[in-house]
Amino acid sequence: MEHRGVTVWLTGLSGAGKTTITKALEQELRSRNCEKLEVLDGDIVRQNLTKGLGFSKEDRDTNIRRIGFVANLLTRNGVMVLVSAISPYREVREEVGRQIGNFVEVFVNAPLNVCEERDVKGLYKRARAGEIEKFTGIDDPYEPPTNPTVECRTDLESLDESVGKVLGKLEELGYISN
């Protein structure tokens, strides 16, 4: 499938469903023969590209800018990039979006209590117990997008519905054909 380069940036709280939606999008796009496709998952990037950064606002912003830099390079070269990262601060997300240009912001929205119920990594429990400081949504803010390109309400819709919304928007914007 021929397509223009674009960064699809999935943002939301831990446990909202970013990685789940990203994996399903990747599978669907690959099944449509989308060959120029890369995934930048926040957890994997932190283990490699941004190892050593902490969780202060400055370090989080640096992390997002570095992910954005890589996504921009790929996007400029005709690659569709799926980014799955909490990216809690609106200002740096918007900055990265402006730099990339071909940028689709997907707000993976689930209420905090739903994310805590899902808590597959046990992070919310540890944060509530004081074992993790500056945890997004507990004692560090998450600033939701003011005008996301797509909003997926993972507490109210199925995975297929969320993936369909993103694919539909990519088709509407001319990044992929159906």
Domains of the chain, first to last: 6-173 (3.40.50.300)
| pLDDT of 47 | 81
The yes-or-no answer on residue 177 being catalytic is no
Q: Which of 87, 158, 162, 177 is catalytic?
A: 87
Q: Please report, in range form, the residues annotated as the binding site for ATP.
A: 12-19
150: Cβ contacts below 8 Å, ≥ 6 apart:
104, 105, 106, 107, 165, 166, 169
pLDDT in single tens digits along all 178 residues of the chain: 556 899 999 999 999 999 999 999 999 999 988 889 999 988 888 787 777 787 788 888 898 999 999 999 999 999 999 999 999 999 999 999 999 999 999 999 999 999 999 988 888 988 898 888 888 888 889 999 999 999 999 999 999 999 999 999 999 999 998 7
Give the predicted TM-score (pTM) of the model. 0.93
CA distance 115 to 119: 6
Annotated binding site: 12-19
